Amino acid sequence: MSVTTSKLRSPVKPMVQPRAILCSTGNRFTVTKPEITKKNKPEMLPRVTKSPRSNFSDDYSSSSSTSSVKTTNSGKFITPPSKRNTVAAVVDNSPEKPGPVKRCHWITPNSDLVYVLFHDKEWGVPVREDKKLFELLVFSQALAEFSWPSILHKREAFRKLFEDFDPSAIAQFTEKRLMSLRVNGCLILSEQKLRAIVENAKSVLKVKQEFGSFSNYCWRFVNHKPLQNGYRYGRQVPVKSPKAEYISKDMMQRGFRCVGPTVVYSFLQVSGIVNDHLTTCFRYQECNLETEEEPKSPETATELDLHSPLLV
């Protein structure tokens, strides 16, 4: 009887771990990536954004900054020397924005452009020409009825109607001529102011005979040198002064009309006899420089000796 023997075979077991595959660089395990589905999709970390105040470029990511930027015990960051130039270049390229120009308190961001130019170019600049001084005196009187912007917009009409503010011509105005000084059918000023302008023109002619010019008469009250008040705040600037009161009385004794202390002080301010720009205004120092560079005429020196002003 023949006995047949059979080899026992172990059952095949499923592979749990990946098999080793011989690669060119050695034995490594290659694992196939599992398919990503909605169920096993990993949660995404929130994206880190740079602070708007950061001056670092894109090269300074969270990973690189962790390895290259060191911190001290106080918690301050120390930028590596190799990257300091890059940071400095970013900071230096930012343009500097100049601050707004500081002007007197009566100029606001909503002020008329004509009014702003008047402040920047004319107001407070020393005036020594007779016609210009008489024009500014008339405008100072007109402030009782109009504002400076309104007067400036009508300045060319004033000059045309008043013969470019020539005192010799205005002194010859008749009543009929005065009533014809109209703009758009209305008198450019009240009848009282118009008659005062004619009388003041006659008084200017008398002053010129005594002092040589209307300019010498006006400037003698300050010894031919502008007064520098040096106010810092607008509330400190007065509407009149003892000096203006004294000049007002002297002018009224000489036949001038409508020249109260308030009108006279406005005239002193606009003609530069008094520098009332605020010390914080950019025109304060400029007007001082213009006064220092202004040459003194021989006539002024003569008048200074002959007519010594009474300082109040």
Q: Are 271 and 255 in contact (CB under 8 A)?
A: no
The answer to the question of whether 105 is labelled as a binding residue is no
For range 106-127, the mean pLDDT: 95
**Residue 277 in marked binding region:** yes
pLDDT digits (tens, 9 = 90+) for 9-24: 555 555 555 555 555 5
Kindly state the helix (H) or strand (E) to which residue 208 belongs, with its residue range.
helix 191-211
Position 287 confidence tier, pLDDT thresholds 50, 70, 90 = confident
Give the per-residue pLDDT at 37: 56
pLDDT computed for residue 96 by the predictor: 47
Question: Given this model, what pLDDT does residue 36 score?
Answer: 55
* 281 annotated binding-site participant: yes
* Per-residue pLDDT at 65: 44
What region does 230 belong to: left with phi over 0, alpha with psi -120 to 50, or beta?
left
pLDDT for the residue 95: 45
Residues facing residue 23 across a β-bridge:
26
Q: Which residues pair with 22 in a beta bridge?
A: 27
Q: Which amino acid is located at 215 in the chain? A: S
Instruction: Kindly report whether the global pTM for this prediction surpasses the value 0.75.
Output: no
3-state secondary structure of 135: helix
Classify 227 as helix, strand or coil.
strand
- In this model, does residue 265 exceed pLDDT 60? yes
Q: How confident is the model over 82-108, as pLDDT tens digits? A: 555 544 444 444 444 445 789 999 999
Q: pLDDT-derived band of residue 283, with 50, 70 and 90 as boundaries?
A: very high
- Answer yes or no: is 258 a known binding residue: no
The pLDDT of residue 217: 97
Task: At 91, list the tokens.
Answer: 């900071």
Q: Do the Cβ atoms of 244 and 265 come closer than 8 Å?
A: yes
The structure tokens 């606001």 sit at 108
Pairing relation of β-strands 227-228 and 274-275?
parallel
The amino acid sitting at 240 is K
Residue 45 phi, psi dihedral angles, 5° rounding: -75, 145
Measured CA distances, 40 to 35, 43, 44, 46 (Å): 9, 9, 12, 18
| Closest by Cα among 139, 142, 120 to 287 | 120
Q: Is the pLDDT of residue 77 over 60?
A: no
Structural domains for the chain = 113-306 (1.10.340.30)
Res 76 pLDDT > 90: no
Percent of the chain with pLDDT over 70: 61
Q: Strands, E, within the chain: which ranges?
A: 21-23, 26-28, 70-71, 77-78, 182-183, 186-187, 227-228, 274-275
Cα of first residue to Cα of last residue in the chain, in angstroms, is 159
| Phi then psi dihedrals of residue 22, to 5 deg | -80, 115
Residue 265 makes CB contacts below 8 A (sequence gap 6+) with 238, 239, 240, 241, 244, 274
Q: Could you say which DSSP state residue 14 is in?
A: P
Model pLDDT, residue 20: 53
204 three-class SS = helix
